[in-house]
Structures are given as structure tokens and as C-alpha cells.
Structure 1
Amino acid sequence: MSNTLSSNESIPSQKKKIIVLGSGPNRIGQGIEFDYCCVHGLMAIKESGYEAIMINCNPETVSTDFDIADKLYFEPVYWEHLWEIIELEQPYGIIVQLGGQTALKLARKLHQRGIRIIGTSFDNMDIAEDRGRFSDLLKELEIPYPEYGTAYTADEAIEVANRVGYPVLVRPSYVLGGQRMRIVINDEEVENAVVSLLKHIPDNKILIDHFLDRCQEAEVDAIFDGEDFHVMGVMEHIEPAGIHSGDSNAVLPAFNLTPLVITTMEYYSEKIARALNIKGLINIQFAIKNDKVYVIEANPRASRTTPFIAKAYQIPYLNIATKVMLDTAKLKDFTFEKKLEGFAIKEPVFSFDKFPGVSRELGPEMKSTGEAIRFIKDLRDPYFRMLYKERSMHLSK
């Protein structure tokens, strides 16, 4: 042990430590938005009396600045590197909710090694991430969701697709930015989609959902502390369902959903959060067709829109959520005064000019490389009217 320490510049302290896993390098589906989450999470950890340790390998992020965490490990967010750090630091626990899908995917190995995951337990996160298990939960809770089935081969997928009815959405579990998700309309397209998926993600369980065509999409971001449930925001997508949420223009608060639909979304969100015993953050995606609300998926972590909502409403939601995860505060300890006059629009940022050979057609697999925020006073704003006109033209095709 002494030889190891003599060649190691990182000397662990005696303080209780919390490790925050970052999101790694910037790439499609794993944007800079999660850096905001990690920074505010680190601040909350220090305010709660713990030593805050950051693991990330992205020099473009604020979370890797020298003065943000008590200790920074500028290392790839891979298991081999993480395990060595854990062995050295012996942390009290690790937060995986703030670093997007990259961090979340390491939860299984942390759980298998008996490492404390701060916030929602691994099994409950796995229910949300495993498309089949999650649909079974929705069925048990009597919450509407698109008809689905699971498959491991192309033949099984074709059989499921014919049972649930075309068009269908073919997708794997535990993926980043809608990777390999496809909307298909016949047996041949199902076969091609499944073969491609298994080629790039071998042995992955495939979920076949009936695709709700020409419907509205919206999402809820919320915090649950085991007792109280707080909706941070309800965002309505301008583009219809079928385009990845990261590529959609979305409006905060919702502008065209009825009070009944919004109340139903919030009711379903709380029901899911309680069933999953969420501790911290959750994001739930909805499809609305003929005024009926369907749940598409749930993300048991910070979403790309969490920082957007925090900035738009001027409320430190990530700080609050981290303290909820750490059990150092409850939602009832805070007041939530949302300061937003008018509406905030989330604008996706694309980099097609840098990748001229890439198809610009949008679909369920994410292609944007970031997002921006635009504030408007009312729905008469020319920019909003242009976006809504484009949506109407898309639906009329």
C-alpha cells in the first residue's frame, strides 16, 4: 500500500466523500447541459458537509475547472478508471443522476460491487430504463402506454410488430440519444432495423412499440423526496411525436394543452415516481392523442431540460435535487417562486454545416449537438408563429 501511495499524487482525506460522475466528451445525445447539473450538484454536496469529488474527462466543462470540486479526477468515465478511484477514495456514495446516460449506465456495476448509489436505487432505475419492465409497471399502475412487445431476433420482432400494429418504433434498452431507434412501417423495414441494431448493440433486448402517429408530445421534469412531489416544469413540444425530444423545439410552460391533459400528466408522473421510489430527479415523456395521455418513457435522472427549466424559472433545482438525494433536505424546506414572464422556448442547435454528408432528416434518433433558450412575451411572437406554422405543414403531409 505504501508503494502505491508513494507513486500516487492523490492522497485521500478522512472526510466523508461523495463522487459525482460526469458525462464524458461532448457527443450527440450527451450534451453540455449535464455539466450544469454536475456543477450545481457539487456545490450542494459541499454545502451539505461532504467532500465533493468529480470524475470527468471533458476540458470544455465547468465541472472540470480546478476550483469547482474539492478533488477532480480528469479520467474517462469508464468502469476500469472509476473502480480504481473508488478503491483509493472509499467514498460514502456515488451520484449517477447528474451525468446523463453515461453515468447512469455505470449504476449496474456499482450495485454489483456493493457501492452505495446516492438517490434512487439501481433496481428502480433499471425498471425505468428497461423498456419491457417499465411497460409492465405502467400496466400494473393502469397508466395508458402504446402497445408493445419484446424480441431478441428479427423473426420475433416481425411477429410482435404484426401483433401491435404498424407503424412501430423499434428501439433497444439503455441507449444514448435514441441510438438505433427507428420508426418502421412493414416487415422488411423491421427486419432491416433489427439486424442493424443487433450488429451495433449485440444481445440487446429489443422493444417494439406501436407508434402513435400525428400526436402531440410533452414532458414533465420533477423531484420526489419519498414524501412530497414537485413538478419543476411541463414542456410542450412544437414538433409532433416521432422526433427525438433533444431535437424538438419545446415551450415552457405548455401553451396548447388543456388543463385536464396537464393535470393528468402530473398525476401520472407522481404515480410513477412513487412506484419507482424515486429519490431525486425524474423526467417523463408523454404522447397526447385525441386528448388521451400516453406515457412513452421515464428517465430516472436529470434530463437535458432540467437546466433549461432551472434557468427559465430562476430556481436552483439541481442544488435542491442533490440535497434531496443526500437526505440533507426535504422539498418542504424550500419555496418555489417561478419567475418567468411569458414563455421560454428550447431551441435545438445542429452542426450540419460541419458534417455535410449527414442526413438532415429528423427522427427518433437524436442529431442536435446542443440547445439554446429564447424568451418570448406571448404567443404572438413572430418566431413562435413561424415554428408553429412549420408544425402545421408537417402534420398536413
Structure 2
Amino acid sequence: ASWDRVFVIYDAIQMGIPLARIHEITKIDLWFLRQYEELYQLEKQINQFKLATLPKDMLLEAKQKGFADRQIAHMLGCLESEVYQLREAMNIKRVYKLVDTCAAEFKAQTPYYYSTFESEVERPDGTRYVANDSEVSDRKKVVVLGSGPNRIGQGIEFDYCCVHGVLAAAECGYESIMINCNPETVSTDFDTADKLYFEPVFWEHIYDIIKHENPVGVIVQLGGQTALKLAEKLDKYGIKIIGTSFKALDLAEDRGSFSNLLRENNIPFPEFGVAETADEALALSDHLNFPLLVRPSYVLGGQGMKIVINKQELEEHVVDLLRKIPNNKLLLDHYLDGAIEAEADAICDGEDVYIIGIMEHIEPCGIHSGDSNATLPPFNLGELVMQQIKDHTKKIALALNTVGLINIQFAIKDEVVYIIEANPRASRTVPFIAKAYKEPYVNYATKVMLGAKKVKDFKFNPQLEGYAIKQPVFSFEKFPNVNKNLGPEMKSTGESILFIDSLKDDAFYDLYARRKMYLSK
């Protein structure tokens, strides 16, 4: 079955293909296919109305059947915010129900909620209401956004960060509220946070919870790229982002602005350009020179990244990217062939910076950091290079006004350290470094974000004898048709940690010998 199977089935129903025929092909039970058909029939009905004429009962039915405001807006030809305002005016609001963790054997007390839409109930006095199980306390609250489903580029590492962030918020006296929708995580255990909303990490759901709970702010740094993408909406709606501001987060993602920041601080970076069309990309290639690293903005796990070596490859890849991700700004960087890659993670409070770890990748530059083996501490970087990494990390963290965690990736060529990118958030290497050094870095960083502590308040005491090696875990045996060649697009599905006493260990020799085996551009 392909990933888009459900959409293809929906399209088939729209085309009028009989359910019996779809059942014959897919072997999906007719009961489920009829649910698809019900959704399609409701969509057809909604399409006949405009925003001003849509009946309340139809809007309520659409919400009860799972249609998002964005989908309804698309059907009505209006803005998502207008559908939301209509819902508010009609008093069609999400209510939260307690998940019965006791299977009705006795009354459940666990603060574990899911949302739904219910019809109003009339009281004897004539007033109407909708029952809501989630009672709001008068305590100071902090919302932590999770990373949603595990997938390539965003796995259990961010669950680790969210759990430690929630616990740190509780230690600071806040009521901790976790929003996530992955049952295979510790962050969605009912006893991790003071309150758990088992909801999609999706704007409509997040905003409704925030309006219901009225927290002092939201932590987006710990949930990976999924949570980070919501920062713009949070900022737009005046919701406080705890830690690094949206302006700084956006600055780090905007290659043009970020490069200006690097230039102002005399920090080297590969030549780059930004293109929005294939023609612009081809024009840029004339002065950037091949090979080029092409990547879209705001993507997860290096999605869509590729190293191209001529104009034909560049044109084909850019056209393909713009077809898959319309209106995206494409970043073109001159690829430093033969460079060494390294990365640093740090905690910053806006005044002081503490580098929690520097890791050197065993594979050449160009392999996604999630797919590379990496050593902590570095195994082959000299004092000059290490000092440049430390200096650049501190300068960038302070220039971005980072409050919390930051990850910076470097390319090293001819003893010069170039900046590849900076991410002012928890990276997938933070849990690795925390476990290797036996230090609760996410706990410290969260307390810095909340303003409860400064970097200088912590007594850092990393403990590691020898080296810790981050080893990616691949699932190629489960996906035999997947290309096993590694490049800038991430393919690993997890990672493990290997401790060695010295670089003479056979395990290190083996990894180093195989470092170019699966390299691909």
C-alpha cells in the first residue's frame, strides 16, 4: 500500500467509481469505504454554500466529522480565520473529554484529554451549554509543543527533550501542559505532565487549547521542526514564545538575513544564493560554481536536499522541488567538496554561552547529520579549528539573542571553519550529548528559557572517559527498494550510542574505514 492510498480512494469516490469495485481492488471493508463516501457527500453539500450562508448544523457536522477549518475554508473559498470566526459566532467550540484510563472499572482521575465537538444541551432554566471535562486552574501554566508522529528527521530524540522540558517547568512551579499526538512516546504518558492534550500538533488544535488554558507562554524549541513551524502563527496572534523569539528563529532560517549576520560578525560561510524559480537558480549557478547544495526552506530531515554537479541536474531538481513544495524559497550553497563536518550544541541566556558539546562527523561533509556517525569529543580537529568553532558558536548564539538551546553545523576545509546553518532549538544530538556526559542539559536549558536560571547558575560537570560515538540506525531491510546511498537528505530511522576508550578501538577503525562506502551526491 502506498502512503497516499487514502487520498487515491477518496479521489476514486469523487470520480464515481462504485464502492464495490474499490472494495474488490483494495479489499478494504465496505463499512470503512462508506465512511469515505459520507465525507465526500458532506463536502459536496458544503461546496454549495458561501461563508455567510453556511448553516450552523452543517458546520457542526463538518467539525464533528473531522474537517479542519482550513479544509472548510478551501471549500467555501474564504480564509481559515474567517471559518474560525464563524465557528466562534455560532458557539461551535472544541470541548475536551477525559480519556478513561481505567476502562470504566472505577472513576479515572488522569488529566489526559482529547478534543471533540458536541451539540449544545439545554438546562432546565433554558440556558444551553456543552460539557467540558478539562477544568482550568488558576496556576501559572506553560505549554510544551511536541513533535507529533515519529518519522525520518524527527524521532524519539525530541520526545526526550519534551519530557525533560515538562519536568523542568514543573520544578519551576508552573503547571505543565503537553500537547502531542504520538502514543509511542513518554511525553504522552498520562503522568508526565500536569495535563496532557492528545491532539495533533496543528495550528487549529493548538490555538483552541491555548485559548482554553491561557498559559503564560509556549515552548517551541523542544519539539523539532514541527513545533518550530508554529512559531510564526504564535507570534502573529500575540502568544508569548518562551525562550528564543520568533524574530530570531526566523532570522536563522532566512538564509539572506542570516548570512548578513555572519558577515557582520566576520564569520565565514559558503557562497550562496536564493532562488524562487528554475531560471533564477540557473542564473545563480554561473557565479556560485558547481557543485551546489540545493535545499528548500523550512523542511524536516533534509527533505528535498541534493548536491548537483551541472546545470541539467540543477534544473531537474529545482523543477521537481517547486512542483512538490510550491512557493518555497530554494537555497543554493556552493558545496565545499572534501570538507570535514562538525556541529556544536550550546545553551545561551542572551548574555552567556555554554557549549555543551562539539561533535565531529566521521563521514565527509554532505552526508546529513542524522545519517552520519559522529564522535564526542572530536577525534581529529586541531586547536585552531576547535577555537574557531567555539568562537563562532558564541558569536552566533549571542547575535541571534538565543535564549535556550542552539545547534550550529560547520564545514571545515583548509583549517577554515565555515557555517552551514544554525538552528536555535533542541537538536537531535542534545539527548545524545546529555547521556554521554551524564548532564541534564535540556532541564538546564528549559530553566534558562523560563528565566528561572542563568547559564552561570549551573555547575556543569560533564563526565566522559574516552569517546562516545553516535551511530545512525537504518531500516533498509524493511524497505528493500529504497536507495541506500547517503547524501544530504536524511534516511536513518534512529540512532544508538557506542562508548569506546580510545581511537584504537576496532569499532572506530571499522566505522572510519567504511565512511565513504555509501556516499552519494
Which residue is equivalent to 2:392? 268
Instruction: Name which of 271, 286, 289 aligns with 1:162.
Output: 286
The amino acid of 1:258's aligned partner reads G
Which residue is equivalent to 1:287? 411
Which residue is equivalent to 1:334? 458
Shift, 1:135, TM fit: 1.6
Q: How does 1:168-179 map to 2 (within 5 A)?
A: 168-179=292-303
TM-score, structure 2 normalization: 0.74
* Distance in structure 1 (CA, Å) of the matches to 2:249 and 2:516: 37
Which residue is equivalent to 2:8? none
TM-score, structure 1 normalization: 0.97
Which residue is equivalent to 1:108? 232
Q: How does 1:42-81 map to 2 (within 5 A)?
A: 42-81=166-205
| 1:146 pairs with 2:255 | no
**Is the 2:485–2:518 Cα contact (8 Å) retained in structure 1?**
no
**Is the 1:167–1:183 Cα contact (8 Å) retained in structure 2?**
yes
Which residue is equivalent to 1:318? 442
* Distance in structure 2 (CA, Å) of the matches to 1:107 and 1:192: 32
* Distance in structure 2 (CA, Å) of the matches to 1:389 and 1:28: 26
Which residue is equivalent to 2:380? 256
Which residue is equivalent to 1:208? 332
The alignment-based identity, stated in percent, is 66
* Distance in structure 1 (CA, Å) of the matches to 2:517 and 2:195: 52
**Is the 2:364–2:516 Cα contact (8 Å) retained in structure 1?**
no
Shift, 1:31, TM fit: 1.0
Point out the structure with max Rg over C-alpha.
2
The amino acid of 1:377's aligned partner reads D
Which residue is equivalent to 2:70? none
SS state at 1:367 partner: coil
The amino acid of 2:366's aligned partner reads G
- Once the two structures are superposed, what CA deviation does each residue of 1:318-351 show, in whole Å capped at 9, x if it has no partner? 0000000000011111111111010000000111
Shift, 1:393, TM fit: 6.9
| 1:385 pairs with 2:509 | yes
Shift, 1:7, TM fit: 2.1
**Is the 1:130–1:174 Cα contact (8 Å) retained in structure 2?**
no
The amino acid of 1:52's aligned partner reads S
**Is the 1:132–1:207 Cα contact (8 Å) retained in structure 2?**
no
| 1:92 pairs with 2:237 | no
Shift, 1:387, TM fit: 1.1
Shift, 1:394, TM fit: 7.8
Shift, 1:168, TM fit: 0.3
**Is the 1:166–1:211 Cα contact (8 Å) retained in structure 2?**
yes
Which residue is equivalent to 1:188? 312
Tell me how large the CA RMSD over aligned residues is: 1.5
**Is the 2:484–2:518 Cα contact (8 Å) retained in structure 1?**
no
Gaps (5+ residues) in structure 2?
1-90, 96-119, 121-127
The amino acid of 1:228's aligned partner reads D
Which residue is equivalent to 2:164? 40
| 1:227 pairs with 2:351 | yes
The amino acid of 1:159's aligned partner reads A
Bigger mean CA offset, 348-357 vs 233-242: 348-357
* Distance in structure 1 (CA, Å) of the matches to 2:293 and 2:331: 8
The amino acid of 1:163's aligned partner reads H
The amino acid of 1:273's aligned partner reads A
The amino acid of 1:50's aligned partner reads Y
**Is the 1:5–1:11 Cα contact (8 Å) retained in structure 2?**
no
| 1:307 pairs with 2:431 | yes
Shift, 1:8, TM fit: 1.8
* Distance in structure 1 (CA, Å) of the matches to 2:237 and 2:330: 27
Shift, 1:151, TM fit: 0.8
Which residue is equivalent to 2:499? 375
Which residue is equivalent to 1:355? 479
Gaps (5+ residues) in structure 1?
none
**Is the 2:486–2:518 Cα contact (8 Å) retained in structure 1?**
no
SS state at 1:272 partner: helix
| 1:127 pairs with 2:258 | no
* Distance in structure 1 (CA, Å) of the matches to 2:516 and 2:254: 34
The amino acid of 2:222's aligned partner reads L
* Distance in structure 1 (CA, Å) of the matches to 2:324 and 2:405: 30
**Is the 1:180–1:365 Cα contact (8 Å) retained in structure 2?**
yes
* Distance in structure 2 (CA, Å) of the matches to 1:172 and 1:87: 33
SS state at 1:171 partner: strand
Shift, 1:136, TM fit: 2.0
